[in-house]
Amino acid sequence: MLINTLVLGLSSLTLEFARRGMVRKMEFTSMGIVPVRWQTEVGWLAGTAALGIGFLVGQITVWQFLRGQGVYMSYDITGSMFYLMTGLHAIHLAGGLIALLYALGGSWFMLNLSWQRVVLETTSWYWHCMGLLWVGIFVMLYFVN
């Protein structure tokens, strides 16, 4: 779970780089200047999406490991809470991943810049909240054991 936490933290960092790149692009284009690096946020968004997928794969790996150890959802209250909290978080993170891919598609196909920024800003708030929520879940589960 620690590796998953680091992956999710790194994905928040890459998403912030993408968001800042979009802000810079908006500032330049509002002045009528075409930035040299027009699509800087695309690489950062792709990296964030890859890290998000990596987090979900890591979470599935943890669940499979626990199942192999005989820890099932109905095993006890601790196991049930672990699966419930991490499962709900994974579902919400998958939704955020869909929004990230939507934002990436907007940047990739160079759709309306204002629309791209709104999508990216909204998605980044959601993604960062999911990251903070995961840290809370991680700390709580760490101290339960």
Domain residue limits, the chain: 2-144
- Residue 140 tokens, joined: 């709580």
Could you give the angle at the alpha carbon of 141 between the alpha carbons of 14 and 64, nearest 5°? 75
Average pLDDT, the chain: 86
Can you give the pLDDT at residue 58? 95
Can you give the pLDDT at residue 35? 62
Can you give the pLDDT at residue 37? 57
- At 119, give phi and psi (nearest 5°): -60, -45
Helices assigned H by DSSP within 1-145: 2-30, 40-68, 77-108, 113-144
Find the mean pLDDT for residues 92-115: 85
Find the mean pLDDT for residues 2-28: 90
Find the mean pLDDT for residues 97-126: 86
Can you give the pLDDT at residue 51? 97
C-beta of residue 29 within 8 angstroms of C-beta of residue 7? no
Give pTM, 2 decimals.
Answer: 0.86
Asked whether the predicted pLDDT for residue 55 surpasses 80, the reply is yes
15: which residues sit within 8 A by CB, 6+ positions away? Answer: 44, 45, 48, 100, 123, 124, 127, 128
Rg of the chain on CA atoms, in Å: 18
Cα(129)–Cα(63) distance, rounded to whole angstroms?
23
Cα(101)–Cα(48) distance, rounded to whole angstroms?
10
| CATH of span 2-144 | 1.20.120.80
